[in-house]
Amino acid sequence: MDQKAIIEFKEVSFSYPGSRPLFKALTFEFKSNAFYLIKGPSGAGKSSLLRLLNRLEEPSSGEIFFNHLPLSSYHPPELRRRILYIQQTPTVIDGSVRDNLLLPFDFKNNNDLTRPDDDHLLTRLKDFRLTNVSLEHNAQNLSVGQLQRVCFIRGILLFPEIILLDEPTSALDKESRKIVESSAERLCCESGSTVIMVSHNTFVPKKVTPIVLDITDGRIMEI
């Protein structure tokens, strides 16, 4: 496994306006092609860590590097496409599954990507065990577990280098949780992306050996 660093935190501090600091002078690195599992008590800053990585939030001091260049040197829409953040609650627009999967291709910044055809989309749906979902299906009528997988597919159509998953299984029953978890593993194994997943549950990946990190009191520790 290639072990070069893809993300480096140098002395990163962060706090929300008017709140106590979440991270103080955090120095840490994430290796490429790895599967990270992030644990820690709620409110410890697990989501904030992911949001810092795709620049939905800005460190109060210090710098984060992606491929050895500071995050601020990338055009934000371009950066977010390469470091893709998938929200905790799957969010879709009003429209069909196809409309949702193709949504990113309407954005100016994604002009250079080829819009996938229906065959491609159907193969993806099958890969993620969504065979009973058609492209015409209204996305709002899908179950949360199905939606979460639609959001995964929408993400990997952009070929991200890093995928950030924010507790993707928190709202799911046991069965859909298993499907989503194995889908998360697929993201790492098949697309060769680095996956950083926040998870409360006792999830043990089967195909990859995860690096488990614990965030407590503003520190990141490898377990």
Q: Per CB under 8 A, does 80 bind another protein? A: yes
Q: Per CB under 8 A, does 154 bind another protein? A: yes
Report the 3 state secondary structure along the chain.
Answer: CCCCEEEEEEEEEECCCCCCCCEEEEEEEEECCCEEEEECCCCCCHHHHHHHHCCCCCCCEEEEEECCEEHHHCCHHHHHHHEEEECCCCCCCCCEHHHHHHHHHHCHHHCCCCCCCHHHHHHHHHHCCCCCCCCCCEHHHCCHHHHHHHHHHHHHCCCCCEEEEECCCCCCCHHHHHHHHHHHHHHHHHHCCEEEEECCCCCCCCCCCCEEEEEECCEEEEC
Which stretch, 24-32, 133-141, 151-159, 174-182, contacts another protein (CB under 8 A)? 151-159
**Which residue from 107, 123, 126, 138 is in contact with another protein, where contact means CB under 8 A?**
107
Q: Per CB under 8 A, does 109 bind another protein? A: yes
Subset of 110-129 contacting another protein (CB under 8 A): 110
Min. distance of Cβ 70 from another protein in angstroms?
12
Q: Report the interface residues with another protein, using CB under 8 A.
A: 16-17, 54-58, 72, 76-78, 80-81, 84-87, 89, 91, 93, 103-104, 106-110, 154-155, 158
